[in-house]
Structure 1
Amino acid sequence: MEQYESPVNAIPPAAIAMALLIIGVEIVFSAAGAGFVGGAEGIGWRLSALQEYAYSPLVWDAIIERNEYSFDLLKRFVTYAFVNSSFLSSIFAAALTLALGKFVGEIFGNVPMLIVFFVSIIFGALVFGILLDGLRPLYGSFVPVYGLIGAYTYVIFVRLGSLGANQLQAFRLIGILLAIQLVFGLVFGGDQIWIAELAGFIAGFFASILAAPGGWTAFVKRMRRPR
């Protein structure tokens, strides 16, 4: 009898875990907002979570100016990425995490994929805090998604290089995404979260140099290879 492989089983466990974490948090918020859990207080759970777990430039200011390294501040460099603004946003981010995580995880492995994922989250927050001022909060799962796009871009960049093709073509996807953000910004008003997302992409791309099979040694060999 012919056997068929399950498409779910083909997805690396690390990608599944991150997507489930994003969805799991959202299920709690959505259920609370609909009144299924938490009672009257549950309606405000999402807002409370944003106040408790979101990141903002004020966090960076507190660390730099007052040398405050409390757990409440440091956790926000990671936790912000798992609190989304809506159910639709969470579903979209989880779906992209699965798709991109499958691609990256199959090539890099589970642990390297997680390294790319979390390095992107932290670096995105760092750049956001350094470049911006004020109360603008940073939250949502698209910063690590952009990190995975960075890893995807790195893989395509390397493949094009091995084929002797124009490696700039690897940046076509991020170019399209940034162009779409620019158009939306002009039409609906700018949203500075793109700074963290771009930083996440950059972090994902460069973290992939070490996370990819062969790591730094393989990267140096490729750079020294005659064109």
Structure 2
Amino acid sequence: MEDHNVSPFNALPPVVVALAVVIFGLELMFQAATAGLLGGQGGVGWRLVAMEDYAVLDQVWTWMLSNGIYPPEQLLRFVTYPLIHGGFVHAAFVVVFILALGKMVAEVYSTLAFLAVFWVSAVMGALGFVVFMDSPFPLVGGYPGVYGLIGAFTFLMLMRAEAQGSGQMRAFGLIGALLAIQLLFALINGEFGTVVADFTGFATGLALSFVVSPGGWARLLRRMRQR
């Protein structure tokens, strides 16, 4: 007999729930502040202040390169920006992707491996953003980390296809569809910075999976010896 009182979150790995709660909790805080429920009159500008302090900004990266100094509080931007979003819909979609993809990835990967895929992908996505683009817009949001999870999911599909002896190109169907949609919106908006960040995140998540997935390091060494 089914227990209809069981929370749907019980089926999700705790690390996935924790990451989603942190991101959505911060967004709810910004929504409450904008509505005047938190922080008084100053709360209206909390999101903007957070972006100024914690988003990845090309001008900050250019300043660091020009001066040859890398203050920790500025480098911290590469780690904190995935937690800040441009609005409720932006954050909600990121949370949905984390819950859906995170469940599939975290059920196979260890907790540390899951967090490594998300945050290393986010960091590399931010580096791709500042190195290859000259965008006047701040980089915020968890999409580069989410695309890292898509990379990990693609890796799992590749391993399944290899075990079944089926076509491996099907594993790239999800990223192909998402990239096509993103390119369309980038053409409409004239801004390709997020596309570069997200695709870099995907490539990082896929490559990292060869090392951090269960048996991944041994599999990588075996393939290198075969070559």
* TM-score, length basis structure 2: 0.92
RMSD: 1.9
Letter of the aligned partner of 2:26 in structure 1?
V
Q: Is 1:44 the equivalent of 2:48?
A: no
Deviations 1:81-121 (A, max 9, x none): 11100011111111111111111000012111001011111
Q: How far has the Cα of 1:61 moved from its partner?
A: 2.4
1:20 aligns with 2:21: yes
The answer on whether the counterparts of 1:59 and 1:129 sit within 8 Å (CA) in structure 2 is: no
Does structure 1 retain, via aligned residues, the 8 Å contact 2:135–2:193? no
Aligned residues of 1:77 and 1:122 also touching (Cα < 8 A): yes
Match of 2:100 in 1: 99
The 5 A counterparts of 1:14-93 are 14-93=15-94
3-state SS of paired residue (1:9) = helix
Report the number of matched residues. Answer: 225
**What is the distance in 2 between the residues matched to 1:181 and 1:44?**
29
Distance change >3 Å, CA 2–CA 133, structure 1 → 2: closer
In structure 2, distance between residues paired with 1:128 and 1:186: 17
Other structure's SS at 1:36 match: coil
Q: Which amino acid aligns with 2:93?
A: F
Pair 1:194 & 2:201 matched? no
Q: Distance in 1 between matches of 2:160 and 2:214?
A: 13
Q: 1:189 to 1:57 in 2, by over 3 A?
A: closer
Amino acid at match of 1:108: Y
- Report deviation, 1:189: 3.5
Contact 2:55–2:139, Cα closer than 8 Å, also in 1:
yes
CA pair 134-144 structure 1, distance change in 2 beyond 3 A: closer
| Structure 1 residue 7, shift from structure 2 partner | 3.2
Structure 2 counterparts to residues 87-166 of structure 1, below 5 A: 87-133=88-134, 135-166=136-167
Mapped to 2, the partners of 1:224 and 1:157 lie a distance apart of: 20
**Sequence identity of aligned pairs in percent?**
43
Q: Which amino acid aligns with 1:56?
A: L
Unaligned 5+ residue runs, structure 2? none
Q: Structure 1: give runs of 5+ residues left out of the alignment.
A: none
Distance 1:9 1:111, change over 3 A: same
Structure 1 length-normalised TM: 0.92
Q: Tell whether the 8 Å contact from 1:14 to 1:111 is kept in structure 2 after alignment.
A: no
Paired AA for residue 28 in structure 1: M
Contact 1:148–1:201 (Cα < 8 Å) also in 2: yes
**Partner deviation per Cα, 1:33-80 (whole Å, 9 max, x = no partner):** 000011111011111111111002233323333222212211101111
Moved over 4 A (4+): 1-6, 222-225
CA offsets per residue over residues 168-214 of structure 1, 9 Å max, x none? 11111100011111222333433421110000001111111111101
